[in-house]
């Protein structure tokens, strides 16, 4: 006894390979690092004031930061 009478489907080997790769192929992951610098400033500083403060802290070796690295 053999199935329902339908013949075997015509196989397109390239389509099968492409489908296989799209499902099971290992993808290259990109590395992304998020850097956070926290510091306090009085008042309501603008971006230039913040930039100056970071440069000052960098020159004085007082910069503190955290990093989070992700692979996507």
Contact (CB, 8 A) for 53 and 62: no
Residue 17 tokens read as 């390979």
C-alpha 36 chain-centroid distance: 17
Coarse DSSP helix, strand, coil percentages of the chain, rounded to the nearest 5 percent: 35, 20, 45
**Shortest CA distance to 72 belongs to which of 33, 29, 35, 34?**
29
User: What pTM, to 2 d.p., does this model score?
Assistant: 0.49
What was the pLDDT predicted at 5? 66
Give me the residue spans of the domains in the chain: 28-71
Phi and psi torsions of 60, nearest 5°: -90, 5
Q: What integer best gives the mean pLDDT of the chain?
A: 85
Q: Is the pLDDT at 56 greater than 60, yes or no? A: yes
Q: Which residue has the higher pLDDT, 13 or 69?
A: 69
Q: Is the pLDDT at 22 greater than 70, yes or no? A: yes
């Amino acid at each position: 006894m053999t199935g329902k009478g339908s013949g075997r489907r015509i196989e397109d080997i390239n389509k099968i390979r492409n489908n296989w790769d799209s499902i099971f192929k290992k993808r290259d992951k990109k590395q992304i690092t998020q850097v956070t610098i926290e510091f306090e400033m009085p008042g309501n500083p603008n971006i230039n004031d913040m930039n100056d403060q970071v440069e000052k802290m960098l020159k004085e070796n007082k910069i503190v930061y955290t990093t989070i690295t992700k692979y996507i």
